[in-house]
Chain A
């Protein structure tokens, strides 16, 4: 039986406290007036050396203007808009920067909050896939996966509260939520049938409730199967997993459009949802592998052999490549055609987020590709841990470049709010998952029909 060590508990709590301080600092340092925002921008550009400040501002104004142009292209009010820009140009720009600076702590919380949430959501999907596929190798890992998915509840609630605050205009993350925006933005007006606050929050509620609901029912059947005398619970679990997967792939697509693609509401990409899914899936399997290695090192999973690890590492390897395929599929198609309303998404990412945008490709693709190719390396626990750490860092960067360029633009940095959010959610994730480990009395699902095969699995 796993006992939650005090050291781990204290570490997790310290992480959460430090994280809260970091998040609070982020909110306190965010400007509360337009003038403060201007001062912050001025100070920041002074660090880059004088003279640069004006150039940068002028540049932002140009970008701003472009955005406006794209947005209003469909309208025949183009001339009227341009004069409007010229008159109120500077004020509008200052307000835009002000909103971006205010967005920073919110974005940091969204990124880290979703990152840890998706680790357990992806685990839940992997679990359901294993059940539906009637995999013979993985039943020994079911208890580990079930414990990791326990984070769905606190993580989901926090995300939901976050979105409630968002639709009540506490931040400016989603442009389409701004009051009155649809009056002069016909593109957003055209999308308002889908992108409107009440529908947005109802969808979020349905998704989160659906995922958590499946998790509870499936775990109930899974535990009942241990005590059962027949396989009826197993069969029920099979059926509900099939329906969960159907629900998940619809809800996940919409979740990706809602929570991430609508940060950039003038842009769209048809494979975006799959791209977010790939990020989620590969990180989750990495967490399953790392948890397995950790629990095995504690002597709790003596029935897990290096072939199980090898299989998990193969999934990490293969899905890293799958992620890269989708990333490149999305990037290359839009780069190649270079249609302004499509490439507008990648321009700020390449211009202002260059090391992150391309660095994550190296970390998420080249590193696992080279390190996890060798069959012997995939059986070494410390190798899995090393590769896993890099994969997780890489996919945090991935979410960072999905969210930040759309919400804070070029006024980004990696400081107190970002580190604080990571620490807070890391602490929460650690404490939730390890207490679920501590609650797991028996690590081997006893009466699973495939458990014998799984125990003797050898590759």
Chain B
């Protein structure tokens, strides 16, 4: 079995969305779609699963608030409970209002930054990473759909041309 893929290039996001629906209806597996901008509803048409980044972010936020609370409990109440301007440092709850701004910021900080880092890791993005772009035009004004070939080149080419592709290319897997 060869590593061949077929790439259909479109020049309109609406045409692309219809093509995706048609290809899905014909039960072909779409490997990847490259677009210059987010196409609303593309993930639904492709049948992609929902992202779980929000759940990650919630957990990171919980970590953040725990870190902030533990840190300030230790520093302000346990380690050196000084009298600073008459603030009651006898117990955590008594001095809680002063800690809330920091707890809030730490929650947001952890939730935001760790979520972004999670996003970079999951989508494999980092500096000096080699771009995986099959066709430079896809960053400007063209849309590209990629389907793996299993010896059904003719049938697929016909199908893709029918969906309004401006170009159909068969190439070795990059």
Q: Which residues does A use to contact B, with CB under 8 Å?
A: 328, 331-332, 335-336, 338, 373, 375
B98 part of interface (Cβ distance < 8 Å): yes
**How distant is the Cα of A373 from the Cα of B54 in the complex, in angstroms?**
10
Top 10 closest pairs, chain A to chain B, by CB:
A332-B97, A335-B97, A328-B100, A336-B97, A336-B98, A332-B100, A331-B97, A373-B58, A338-B86, A328-B97
Known contacts A335-B97, A336-B97, A375-B54; 9 further A-B pairs (Cβ under 8 A): A328-B97, A328-B100, A331-B97, A332-B97, A332-B98, A332-B100, A336-B98, A338-B86, A373-B58
Tell me how many residue pairs across A and B have CB atoms closer than 8 Å: 12
Q: In chain A, what residue has the closest Cβ to B86? A: A338
**How distant is the Cα of A375 from the Cα of B52 in the complex, in angstroms?**
12
Interface residues of B in 51-66 (CB under 8 A from A): 54, 58
A373 contact set on B, CB distance < 8 A: 58
B97 contact set on A, CB distance < 8 A: 328, 331-332, 335-336
A336 contact set on B, CB distance < 8 A: 97-98
B86 contact set on A, CB distance < 8 A: 338
Chain A: minimal CB distance from B93 (Å): 10
**How distant is the Cα of A338 from the Cα of B98 in the complex, in angstroms?**
13
**How distant is the Cα of A331 from the Cα of B97 in the complex, in angstroms?**
9
**How distant is the Cα of A335 from the Cα of B87 in the complex, in angstroms?**
10
Interface residues of B in 16-67 (CB under 8 A from A): 54, 58
Chain B: minimal CB distance from A305 (Å): 16
- Chain B 84-112: CB-based contact to A (< 8 A → 1; otherwise 0): 00100000000001101000000000000
Q: In chain B, what residue has the closest Cβ to A334? A: B97
A375 contact set on B, CB distance < 8 A: 54
A331 contact set on B, CB distance < 8 A: 97
A328 contact set on B, CB distance < 8 A: 97, 100
**How distant is the Cα of A44 from the Cα of B153 in the complex, in angstroms?**
91
**How distant is the Cα of A336 from the Cα of B84 in the complex, in angstroms?**
12
**How distant is the Cα of A331 from the Cα of B86 in the complex, in angstroms?**
17
**How distant is the Cα of A336 from the Cα of B54 in the complex, in angstroms?**
35
**How distant is the Cα of A149 from the Cα of B98 in the complex, in angstroms?**
41
Chain A: minimal CB distance from B23 (Å): 24
Q: In chain B, what residue has the closest Cβ to A325? A: B104
Q: In chain A, what residue has the closest Cβ to B87? A: A336
Q: In chain B, what residue has the closest Cβ to A332? A: B97
**How distant is the Cα of A328 from the Cα of B97 in the complex, in angstroms?**
8
Q: In chain A, what residue has the closest Cβ to B98? A: A336
A338 contact set on B, CB distance < 8 A: 86
Chain A: minimal CB distance from B83 (Å): 14
Q: In chain B, what residue has the closest Cβ to A333? A: B97
B98 contact set on A, CB distance < 8 A: 332, 336
Q: In chain A, what residue has the closest Cβ to B97? A: A332
12 A-B residue pairs with Cβ-Cβ distance under 8 Å, sorted by A, are A328-B97, A328-B100, A331-B97, A332-B97, A332-B98, A332-B100, A335-B97, A336-B97, A336-B98, A338-B86, A373-B58, A375-B54
